[in-house]
Amino acid sequence: MQLVTRHSSAPFVLASASPRRQELLLQIGITPDLIDPADLDERPKNRELPADYAKRISHEKAAVVAARQAGAFVLAADTVVAVGRRILPKAETEQEARLCLNLLSGRRHRVMTGHVLVTPEGLVRQRLVQTAVRFKRLHASEIEAYIDSGDWQGKAGGYAIQGGAAAFIPAINGSYTNVVGLSLPEVTSLLVGNGF
In this predicted model, what pLDDT tens digit does every residue of 97-138 receive, in sequence order? 999 999 999 999 999 999 999 999 999 999 999 999 999 999
Determine the average pLDDT of the residues in 165-186. 97
Determine the residue type at 155: K
Number of structural domains (the chain) is: 1
5 within domain boundaries = no
7 within domain boundaries = no
pTM over 0.85: yes
159 within domain boundaries = yes
92 within domain boundaries = yes
Separation of alpha carbons 34 and 15, rounded Å: 9
Q: What is the pLDDT of residue 47?
A: 93
Q: What is the pLDDT of residue 39?
A: 87
Determine the average pLDDT of the residues in 15-41. 95
pLDDT-derived band at 171, boundaries 50, 70, 90? very high
Domain that holds residue 148: 12-193
Residue percentage of the chain with pLDDT more than 70: 96
150 within domain boundaries = yes
The answer on pLDDT for 1 being more than 60 is no
174 within domain boundaries = yes
Determine the average pLDDT of the residues in 47-53. 96
Domain harbouring 168, CATH code:
3.90.950.10
What's the whole-number average pLDDT of the chain?
A: 95
Name the residues annotated as catalytic.
78
1 within domain boundaries = no
Separation of alpha carbons 114 and 39, rounded Å: 16
Torsion on CA atoms 15, 17, 19, 21, rounded to nearest 10 = -20
65 within domain boundaries = yes
By C-alpha distance, which of 63, 66, 77 is closest to 115?
77
By C-alpha distance, which of 101, 112, 93, 110 is closest to 168?
101
pLDDT-derived band at 3, boundaries 50, 70, 90? low
